[in-house]
Amino acid sequence: MKNTTVYDCTMIEMDKHHSDRKGNITVVENGKTIPFEVKRTYYLYDVPGGGSRGAHAHKELRQLIIAAGGSFDVTLDDGNVKRTVVLNRPYQGLLVVPGIWRDLNNFSAGAVCLVLASERYDENDYIRNYQEYLKYKQSEI
Ligand code: TYD
């Protein structure tokens, strides 16, 4: 998916259930909350405060990125426009479409980055070099 832009990436506000008990629950259900079926879930943690991750794009993978704890910034880049989103609420998810370069920065100490993904892990789906990424985007017809 080469011709996507940062404007195709949206924030999804999920339900926050609060009962008489203390605390909240947020639920993500296939076919209901997000526009893809979740095939894989992973989470990043123990990132040093102020640290960075990401710095790659995916050709086909769709993801919902959630700050399950703490906060971090996600900078989306389509080779043309950059957009930075602060994630700091466990009930908000950033939907990242394929073909977008992303940098995750400014992790707070103890932050947990939960990622719901549309495909199983495939290293061939990654573009890890920014110059290659720009070429990939420019090669669109
Ligand atoms: P990577 O996606 O580069 O992490 P980040 O975007 O946070 O910098 O993955 C880091 C390493 O973990 C990489 O060597 C491959 C491995 N990995 C898996 O084996 N399976 C997975 O589902 C993911 C996301 C990563």
Ligand 1 atom at minimum distance from 113 CA: 7
Judge residue 107's burial from the number of C-beta atoms within 10 Å of its C-beta, 0-12 exposed, 13-18 middle, 19 or more buried.
Answer: buried
Q: Which two tokens stand for residue 55?
A: 């710095």
Question: In this predicted structure, what is the pLDDT of residue 141?
Answer: 52
Span 92-104, pLDDT tens digits: 999 999 999 999 9
Distance between Cα 43 and ligand 1 center (Å): 10
Q: Report the share of the chain in percent with pLDDT over 90.
A: 89
Question: In this predicted structure, what is the pLDDT of residue 16?
Answer: 86
Model pTM score: 0.95
Residue count (the chain): 141
Of 42, 44, 62, 124, best ligand 1 pocket probe by most atoms within 8 Å of the beta carbon: 42
Nearest residue to 118 via CA among 42, 47, 53, 67: 42
26 band by pLDDT with thresholds 50, 70 and 90: very high
Distance between Cα 111 and ligand 1 center (Å): 17
Name every protein residue with a CB atom under 6 angstroms from any ligand 1 atom.
40, 42, 44, 53-54, 121
Q: Are 50 and 28 in contact (CB under 8 A)?
A: no
Rounded distance between C-alpha atoms, residue 77 and residue 84, angstroms: 9
Give me the phi and psi of 88, to 5 degrees please: -150, 15
Ligand 1 atom at minimum distance from 115 CA: 24
Of 53, 122, 127, best ligand 1 pocket probe by most atoms within 8 Å of the beta carbon: 53
Rounded distance between C-alpha atoms, residue 124 and residue 136, angstroms: 14
Domains belonging to the chain, first-starting first, are 6-136 (2.60.120.10)
User: In terms of DSSP H, where are the helices of 15-129?
Assistant: none
Q: Are 117 and 37 in contact (CB under 8 A)?
A: no
